[in-house]
Amino acid sequence: MWLRNWKLSDYLQIHGFVDAQYDYTRQLENDGILTQHSVIMLRRARVDFSGNLHPMLDFRLQADFAFTPKLLDAWLRVKFCKYAQLQIGQIKTPFTMNNFLSPLDLEFMELSQSVAALAGFVDISGVPEYANGLEIGAMLSGTLVDCMKDGERIPILNYYVGIFGGSGINIKKDNLSKDFSARLDFYPFVRNFRLSGSVYFGNYPLFKDRNAPRNRWSAGAEYLGKHWTARAEYLQGTTGVENQSLTFPEDSVYLVKTRGLYAFVGYWFYMGWGKKSSAVQRLRPLFRYDYCVRDKNDPSTTTNYFSFDLEWWPDPHVRVLLDYTLRQRNNHRNLGHTMAAKVSVCF
């Protein structure tokens, strides 16, 4: 009898999206040489399988087939109660406010410089296996405190604590020192507003017989209302890299101290296709200031990016994003300009 009521959609959902992108970059380098790049690319082509095997057990399996195919999210989660959920597999580390967001939810074409460098996307260490903010490990999460407001139960304090291999994604690599990451989100009784802080402590094998540190922390605030959206976050980290300087040849590891700050604000406009239509388009102009010092011992690594974006959803399955970024490197003479357009189609 139960087979008559069984539906695959109750246990498995298949989603995905494709990103087609155009980039034009114009940059004046320190030596006065002007460089230009123009690229059309299929940036992402993802298929995402997720579902519930049991009321207490869900899973996710996501792969990207653009460029070189690779496995991204691959995990199982046991939901014991609202206070404790255990997630095991290849998962997003709980570092920064951005890392849990899908590319379709990211407000700008590119991550802020400090998030990309410190959260394991284009890692400051230069290790290519640190990608997409993912690691293999286990994470415990839950809601420690919540309350009833306007007939709805809302969280006040959420936590995420994880132990990770520290070797990156899709790789089996010996690393005796495991990594630790944690994040705490506090909702101070204001709807859609949160304060967040996170840490990441770890090491990675720089040489055969020596590890180098990858330690980072962040703090930020976010407001996501029906119309106004805003987020600001400060990040700081220390990363050991191979010492290329001859000043201290006896020290094979050089500590790169990185810090950065980004802040953005946007406003949603809602528009129907017609007065009698229930279909709604969404349009959001955005502005972001993005400051980063990749190595505080080298002033030339200081950069300021000013981004102006326009996000348009003409349909729930189609997203159009236009971007202009003014890039300032160290001084006003080293200005760069990036113009980009991206179309995402979801299913």
Q: What is the DSSP letter of 93?
A: -
At 333 the pLDDT is 65
At 6 the pLDDT is 63
Length of the chain: 347
Taking residue 264's Cβ as centre, other Cβ atoms within 10 Å add up to 20
Task: Kindly indicate the confidence band of residue 224, based on its pLDDT and cuts at 50, 70 and 90.
Answer: very high
83 has a pLDDT exceeding 80: yes
Q: Helices (DSSP H) in 95-234: which residue ranges?
A: 113-118
At 252 the pLDDT is 81
- Across residues 39-43, what is the average pLDDT? 93
At 244 the pLDDT is 72
At 157 the pLDDT is 94
Beta strands in 250-334 (DSSP E): 253-267, 269-272, 280-293, 302-315, 318-329
| Cβ neighbourhood burial of 139 (10 Å; 0-12, 13-18, 19+) | buried
pLDDT per residue as tens digits for the range 122-172: 999 988 889 999 999 999 999 999 887 777 788 899 999 999 998 889 887
Structural domains in the chain? Answer: 18-346 (2.40.160.10)
Selected residue with higher pLDDT from 170 and 325: 325
What's this model's pTM, rounded to 2 decimal places?
A: 0.90
Residue 305's φ and ψ, nearest 5 degrees, are -115, 135
Of 5-19, 80-94, 242-256, the one with minimum mean pLDDT is 242-256
Q: How large a percentage of the chain has pLDDT more than 90?
A: 67
At 28 the pLDDT is 76
CA distance 334 to 183: 37
